[in-house]
Chain A
Amino acid sequence: MEVDSQEQLQRKQSTYLSLDENFEIQKEVYRGQQYSQIYFARLHMMRTLLYSLVPNWKSHLPVCTVLELEEGKECIIVGTLYKHMKLKPCILDEYSKERSVAPLIKPHNFMHQDDYLVLEDESGRVKLGGTKLSPSVYVTGVVVALHGKETSAGAFFVEDVLEAGLPPQIERPLKSREDKYVVFVSGLSIGSSSSNPLQFQLLVDHITGHLGDEEEQGLAAEIVHLVIVGNSVEISHGLLNGQNLASKDQSRLSEPFKELDILLTQIAASLPLDIMPGSSDPANFALPQQPLNRCLFPGSATYNTFRSCTNPHCFELDSIRFLGTSGQNIDDLTKYSEAKDKLDFLERTLRWRHLAPTAPNTLGCYPFTDRDPFLIDSCPDVYFVGNQEKYETRLLKGLEGQLVRLICIPRFCETGVAVVLNMRNLECHALTFGTQISS
């Protein structure tokens, strides 16, 4: 048994604080509650907030509810937006007697130029007109304040929009002088035909300090945390069609997990790791997804460094706040609105102060009765989304001095790219792996 003669490098550590309680569902109960309650909670919270912001915005105008609108009177109304979309799939279409000429393949984006917005509060709803509010930007579920007046047609002509804006950010003590890195990876898709296990093994080897020379291992020793952002396994759908599985197929079901567990054991033995569920993982479908069961990871769950987390996931490392999802919220926004790039969507969700405004409209969501857990109260320092097409990042500056690093994490099985964040200065770089040996 040989021990290296030189000093072994020590891995750096940082204090971890999990802020996931908001996303955990303690007693999942379906007593026939409807989604109106979550909308009401959302409207209530956001409206209180917007009312406090309105005086700074346009203090001379009265604020009224939708029913109190009078024709020609300029006022401010606050409510939830609803976007009426022509192409939005409706369950009733399946039952319609006439089959329209609409194509059978579902478009990736359901937008149409005829979409219009409607503002709704408890008292009523009113159609919105005017060019200020572009239906392509907004989605159902966003709470905004609108300045305008009612037209003779009964619609509300919008002159100005007030969004909640970036939430306040807790001051981060600039104490860290040293480089500490956090690695994000998502979309491992172990078990799928496109995943390359060698690539992930290289990542594991690099992070754990096997690969490379001392200098590189020194770099690796500065990695303090790894976050696996969803879609770690992929089980072929052929096995999941509800039929009874033959015994030989049953092992195929569990193979991806065993492989993942072995790899996670290697990681967990060396640094703290968080694993979040994604859309293809065996977790519940509706947001917030609950942590993956520890039984799935018999080997790695025994480590104190292993943490199974919810999706969305919020945590603090050395008092730097991280918030992120496995991608379902942004993917849904992509379907129902448009933007230049995914980072714009991220920014919008921050400005709307809501992680997933389309939940529960088009995004599966648990019917909360007393709160809306997706509201963002405090601005994170790092805001990430996983399972995207490519790696993108931007530093967002808020009006009140907030600084947020927005990160889109690409799917590792397709791109071989992981993202590394330096906690000292919120700088990001990509960690890419190539295994095309002979080409």
Chain B
Amino acid sequence: MTQIETLGILEEIQALVSDKLQVVSYKWLSRHFLVSSNVAKRLLAEFVEKHGSGLEVVYSLSGWLKNSPSNYHIQLVSRHKLSEAKQEYDGNCRADVYSVQVCIPEDPAAIWNTEFLQAEELFKRPAPVDNCLRDNRFCGISASFVKRNVDGTTARVAAAQPDSAGTSGPSKQNSSQTNAALPSQQNKVLQSSSKVAQHTPIMVKDVKSDGIREVHNLAVKPSTDKKKTTSLPSNKNKDQNGKSSTGNEGSLATLWGRACTKPKSSSVPEVGCDSIQNFNGTADAQICAREAVEDENSDLDAYEVNFRRASYGEGNKKRRVVFDFSDEDENEDAVNLASPDPPERKSLLGSEQDSKTLVPERPNSIVDKPNKDEVNIKEETMTDGEPNISLREETSLVSKRTNGRNSVVKLESQLPDTAPNKMDEVTDAAPNSPKRRKVIKTHIDDHGGEVNEVVWEGEETEVKKVENHMPKKVGSGTTNAEANTVTNTTNRPSAPQRSPAVGSTAPSNPGGKAGNKKAGNAKDPKQGNILSFFKKA
């Protein structure tokens, strides 16, 4: 360091300490002037020699204590106490200037404050940027094995490297997690955004609902959020689905902030299908990416948690994340009372494809597995069979074991009608009417069994009966559970769509769902099922 620089720094310190009454610690100095800690300490020592007469100096004293030999003691002492404190040490103890200030505050922690604010500020900088806090470059020890994972790429944390954005931007091929604000990364931004753009068309169209076979729709429920987080620790994979190129400083708050799930149809085309609601690992990837991102600043505007792609299976066909739904057994009885999220641009694009994929599948599922576990898809009846209603209705289709029920038949007949319904919103994606609410109503039906209905209040009503009798199927409870795990397309642990329920609602569907419970409990026996005892009433 040249003489002139040194002098300049010393003068600055003088100004800070005397005029601004700031506590200047060596750490603060090193970060501020970008010098190593050892140099900062030397500078402070020089400063104390030249100008330190009227100021208070705090020294850090370290060494082995005399009285307790296996105690390495590090303490901060003021200038006057220094010699006294040195007595406690056995042999040589080292003293370095820790900080310089006008007066020593009552609470020692106040000395730490300025330094911490500086650290905090460095901490808050965008994640891809390495700074002296993040790579500890000013310390006396280098640790080359430390790597920092940013956006799924690992960047070596190298000490003694200039604070440039270059170090952090190595292979970002898959990540469009860019900060447009950084000029040096502009190229990367362009690159990745172009990649995103490429993905976009694929993603949007690819609303292929694997439909029945899809196991989860991560979109909405808090329970699934938990599942997401459990898969977190293992997953530091690259974000393959591209992210919003608009400076995706996703704050963690957005993960939980379902409140922001407003459809931003305008942003969809540009942004591509970033979606939290993703099946194939994008959730993971996003979470990872978000982890990697500093909890920047709730720039919720820049990044909207709205990419609810109403379909599953989009974008990445290759990766499919399977979440463990082993607790579905217990959850199957849970009836979801939450208001469904507004149906975001119901992949109109997808719906036709949906129907195509759907229709051939359904009959298969029904026909091929007559004795197998139930295919558990909820179908909500629509008032009319128009395809367009897809937008406003949800599909929930339940087929059950054919034990001579005509429900299956009815189901099939309904297929064409309900085909267009968004298989993508298999779960209760709410139809347009935001006013709809699900309400549970309980009553006793003709046979003395308790019936719980989940009824939509609002324009349309859906009757989901949670029937308690399941006559011939003593084991139905378990099979249903299995069915659920196998074929649960709903994103929430769905209410057990009992066969009778479907049977009953099916015929009444066209007639509107105005709460017709009676409809067909054709096979209700007089006796209740023992398993009903364990179901949630």
Contact = CB atoms under 8 A, between A and B. Distances in A.
A8 B146 contact: no
Interface string A187-221: 00000000011100110011011111111110011
B319 interface: no
B62 A438 contact: no
Interface in B257-301: 287, 290-295
B94 A215 contact: yes
Nearest to B1: A2
Contacts of A209: 37, 139-141
Contact of B148 (A3, A4, A304): A304
A438 B94 contact: no
Interface string A254-274: 000011011001101111000
Contacts of B38: 4, 213-214
A308 to B, nearest CB: 7
A81 B68 CA distance: 42
B142 interface: yes
Nearest to B143: A11
B74 A211 contact: yes
B74 A270 contact: no
B223 to A, nearest CB: 13
B74 A303 contact: no
Interface stretch (B116-124, B174-182, B310-318, B498-506): B116-124
Nearest to A293: B229
A123 to B, nearest CB: 33
B119 A217 contact: no
Q: Number of contact residues on B: which range applies?
A: 35 or more
Contacts of B162: 1
Given A214-B140, A429-B70, A303 B157 contact: yes
B465 to A, nearest CB: 26
B159 to A, nearest CB: 7
Interface string B115-155: 11001100100010000011110111111111111100010
A435 B76 contact: yes
Contacts of A216: 62, 94
Interface in B59-93: 60, 62, 65, 68, 70-78, 81
A269 B157 contact: yes
Nearest to B144: A10
B27 interface: yes
B229 A27 contact: no
Nearest to B99: A437
A89 interface: no
B4 to A, nearest CB: 14
Contact of B71 (A212, A217, A271, A429): A429
A433 interface: yes
Given A2-B36, A430-B72, A433-B75, A303 B293 contact: no
Interface string B365-385: 000000000000000000000
Interface in B217-246: 229, 232-233
Given A434-B74, A438-B81, A271 B143 contact: yes
Tell me if A's interface is mostly helix, strand, loop or mixed.
Answer: mixed
Nearest to A203: B74
B519 interface: no
A211 B96 contact: yes
Interface stretch (B104-112, B352-360, B456-464): B104-112
A291 interface: yes
A298 B293 contact: yes
B291 A295 contact: yes
Nearest to B59: A437
Contacts of A206: 62, 74
A293 B108 contact: no
B109 A196 contact: yes
A432 B157 CA distance: 29
A10 B141 contact: yes
B252 A303 contact: no
Contact of A217 (B30, B120, B135, B141): B141
Given A198-B109, A202-B60, A31 B330 contact: yes
B470 interface: no
Given A2-B35, A308-B233, A430-B72, A262 B119 contact: yes
Contacts of A208: 136, 139, 141
A298 B123 CA distance: 10
A29 B116 contact: no
Contacts of B139: 208-210, 217, 270
A361 interface: no
B214 to A, nearest CB: 21
A269 B136 contact: yes
Interface in B1-23: 1
A269 B139 CA distance: 11
A209 B109 CA distance: 21
Contacts of B102: none
Contact of B119 (A266, A305, A434): A266
Given A1-B162, A208-B136, A270 B37 contact: no
Contacts of B74: 202, 206, 211-212, 431-434
B10 to A, nearest CB: 15
A298 B76 CA distance: 31
Nearest to A427: B70
Nearest to A418: B72
B36 A302 contact: no
Given A211-B74, A269-B135, A303 B148 contact: yes
B9 to A, nearest CB: 11
A244 interface: no
22 contacts: A4-B38, A8-B160, A27-B324, A196-B108, A196-B109, A197-B109, A198-B76, A209-B37, A212-B62, A213-B38, A213-B96, A220-B141, A298-B294, A299-B295, A302-B127, A302-B291, A302-B292, A305-B145, A420-B72, A431-B71, A434-B75, A437-B58
> Which 7 A-B residue pairings sit nearest by Cβ, starting from the closest?
A434-B75, A209-B141, A429-B70, A217-B140, A269-B136, A209-B139, A11-B143
Interface of A: 1-4, 8-11, 13, 27, 29, 31, 196-198, 201-202, 205-206, 208-217, 220-221, 258-259, 261-262, 265-266, 268-271, 291, 293-295, 298-299, 301-305, 308, 420, 427-438
Given A210-B26, A427-B70, A435-B109, 7 more contacts: A11-B142, A31-B330, A198-B109, A217-B139, A269-B134, A302-B291, A434-B75
